[in-house]
Amino acid sequence: MEVTITNENFEELKNGSTPLVVDFWAEWCGPCKMISPIVSQLAEEYDGKIIVGKCNVEEAEDVAAQMGIRNIPTLIFFKDGQEVDRHVGAGSKQILQKKFEANI
C-alpha cells in the first residue's frame, strides 16, 4: 500500500502496527524519479506486509527536518515507531528489495 506522508499523518503511520518505509523525494530530483517506479512496484508486491509512504520534502518540511533528511532520495524503514534502516541515493530493484525483505 502506498500513501502520501504529511506533517499531520507521519507519527500515526510511523507508530502503527504495520512496518513503514518512507520515500523522501522532491519533484526536481532526478534520482528520485529513477527510483519512484521501483518503490511503487515494491509497494504493490509487499501490500499488506509493509506500508510505503511517499514524502515530498518540500510539502512536509517538518517531517524531513525531524528525520534529518540531507540528501534525497532517502528511504527510511520503521518498525514499532523506531527507525531500523536507512538507504540514501538511488538503487536497483534488487538492492531495494533486499532492504524491504530485511525490514518486514
pLDDT at residue 104 is higher than 90: no
Catalytic annotation, pick one of 32, 35, 38, 76:
32
Average pLDDT taken over every residue of the chain: 96
The rounded distance, in Å, linking the Cα atoms of 34 and 31 is 5
Catalytic residue at 55?
no
pLDDT at 87: 96
Per residue in 4-13, pLDDT (tens digit) is 999 999 999 9
Q: How much of the chain is in helix, strand and coil states, percent to nearest 5?
A: 35, 25, 40
Mean pLDDT of 7-27: 96
The rounded distance, in Å, linking the Cα atoms of 99 and 104 is 9
Catalytic annotation, pick one of 20, 21, 22, 29:
29
